[in-house]
Amino acid sequence: MVLPNMNTDKSKEEGEWMVPVEVMLGSLDHGEVQACSISRIPDEIRAPKEECFKPSLVSVGPLHRGATRQILLMEEPKWRYAKSFLDRRPRVPPGNNHGGHGRGRSPEPTGIREWGKEILKLDKVVRASYGGDLELDPHDLAKIMMVDGCFLLELLLRLKDYMNPQPNQNQTFSDDPFLETEEKVMCVLNDISMLENQIPSIVLKRLYTIVYPDIIIKFAEDHRVATVIQDAFGYNSKNNHGLAHMLHLMHMSTVEEDSNNQDTKRLRQACRELKRCATKLRAAGITIRSRNSNNTANGNANANTTISNQHKLVDIFDFDISFNEKDKVLEIPALHIKETTELRWRNLIAWEQSRIWIRGKYTSYALFFQTLICSEHDIKLLEKKGVIVNEINMSRAELKTMFETISAGAEHMDSSYSDHCRNLNSHRTTLGTKVFRQWPIITWHMFRRFLETVVFYFWNWYGILVRDHIPTVWKFVGVVAAVVLLVLTIMQTYYSAKQTHFAEQSSNSPSRH
């Protein structure tokens, strides 16, 4: 009988705890991977609207796999999508797999097992992307990456055709499980835009080169996947080097990094820099105006972007806010509120807060609007000026709640609007303007804010009363009956006491003879 080598087993167990450390350290200088780029979102950011961070239809990656019954139901359609993507690979005659694999690239694998082995080789960099501590077997993780990656690439290719139909194209999506209705398209767009619902871009790139191997470029210079994502979401092509995942690409496509200007990268403590809301700015004689052109990335004019952002499925933010101190004009590009706007905005802020080296542009933008809006009347004013374009008919109360909580939990921001805010805060008005314009407007504004607060708390208390104390009709009848009985008892006690008082007065008064 041969006894097992206990020392070997013990040393193996002692070495396993170092695997995550080795994985993380090995990924720090990896050109195609960013460590901890797909991580759990802190509760402070998640709490105001948790549904913006949890997929409802489809999961991508291991973090939300099988989280709900609906997600489990969509697993089989995901496999069909994955098969459709793999079927796109051109048929190569036997013995003719030597060309088209590019400079410095080994011959492409030709079978499903070989493809799986290629993804398995990425195990360490994939784990590093999720923080290095995934409790999954390497083969299970590779299977998730392969199926979900192929699904996502097929979805993006179909989304491009869905959003940009060709005149001579008769493609229909009536039987597509993810694109058959506009509601499902919105839902899947939201799900794949979530930070916790991403997979590393290196996996997507590797799968894409497996299916489309005939290109003579190095792997690090292959940006075809980034182009597919940008085409599907309506973004313009920009620098795609060091791409972590799809949400990162959305950020890079809308926030321009200036490597020569270190001030634009400097982060600061998140705060409300603007001290006046929209109504108070108007009272101070400042004209708020909407800039009609809706461009991407800091106001870079592009007619195609302006047109594409009119599509209800395209959501592009324009951060080019400007203040002309001489003419007293504050220009703000139109903010289109769509089905995907709030969710994407919150997740992009969460992405900024998870990194210490990228610009907090979305966070600064959110904090600017948060100060600009202190009541529903500010929203009404901004809607009238065309600054807020409400395309989904959200109520003003819902919009106010969104702007109040959009940057909750944010700890850092950049200085994008610091100069404008300082100029707006220091703007002074004449005595005549104060008496005849500023004071009446602000007085009326404060009164409406007070009234708005009273109405809000009344309906809030009423909602608590209905929810907790009278949830059924019979309980409501009982409460009403109890209130009526209490009122009648009080009235009876009052009149009885009054009648007794008059009787005592009559008995004590002298008789008239």
Handedness of CA 486, 487, 488, 493 (dihedral sign): positive
Phi, psi of 55 (to 5 degrees): -65, 145
Same-domain pairing of 92 and 18: yes
Number of domains the chain contains:
2
| Domain boundary residue, one of 229, 254, 279 | 254
Distance from C-alpha of 13 to C-alpha of 452, rounded to nearest angstrom: 63
Q: Which residues pair with 333 in a beta bridge?
A: 291
372 located within any domain: yes
Per-residue confidence (pLDDT) for residue 468, from 0 to 100: 66
Q: Which residues pair with 290 in a beta bridge?
A: 332
Same-domain pairing of 232 and 285: no
Same-domain pairing of 202 and 299: no
248 located within any domain: yes
Same-domain pairing of 339 and 363: yes
Per-residue confidence (pLDDT) for residue 318, from 0 to 100: 92
Same-domain pairing of 279 and 247: no
Q: Are 411 and 269 in contact (CB under 8 A)?
A: yes
Same-domain pairing of 209 and 355: no
Same-domain pairing of 269 and 403: yes
36 located within any domain: yes
| Domain boundary residue, one of 254, 284, 308 | 254
Same-domain pairing of 224 and 299: no
416 located within any domain: yes
Tokens of 442: 């602000």
Same-domain pairing of 179 and 275: no
**Polymer length in residues for the chain:** 513
Q: Are 315 and 376 in contact (CB under 8 A)?
A: no
Distance from C-alpha of 242 to C-alpha of 32, rounded to nearest angstrom: 5
| Domain boundary residue, one of 254, 286, 316 | 254
484 located within any domain: no
Q: What is the DSSP string of 192-224?
A: TT-GGG---HHHHHHHHHHHS----S-GGG--H
Q: What percent of the chain has pLDDT over 90?
A: 45
456 located within any domain: no
Same-domain pairing of 173 and 300: no
Buried b (16+ CB within 10 A) or exposed e, 485-494: eeeeeeeeee
Query: Containing domain of residue 370, as a range?
Result: 265-428
Per-residue confidence (pLDDT) for residue 166, from 0 to 100: 73
User: Which residues in the chain come in under a pLDDT of 70?
Assistant: 1-32, 92-110, 167-171, 214-215, 237-239, 257-266, 292-310, 429-474, 501, 505, 507-513
Per-residue confidence (pLDDT) for residue 299, from 0 to 100: 40
Distance from C-alpha of 43 to C-alpha of 349, rounded to nearest angstrom: 14
Residue type, 259: S
Q: Which residues pair with 300 in a beta bridge?
A: 296
Q: Are 348 and 362 in contact (CB under 8 A)?
A: yes
307 located within any domain: yes
Return the number of other C-beta atoms located less than 10 Å from residue 306's C-beta. 16
Per-residue confidence (pLDDT) for residue 258, from 0 to 100: 55
461 located within any domain: no
Residue type, 16: E
Per-residue confidence (pLDDT) for residue 407, from 0 to 100: 94
Same-domain pairing of 176 and 269: no
The set of residues, in sequence order, having a beta carbon less than 8 Å from that of 308 and lying 6+ positions away, is: 234, 314, 316
Same-domain pairing of 313 and 184: no
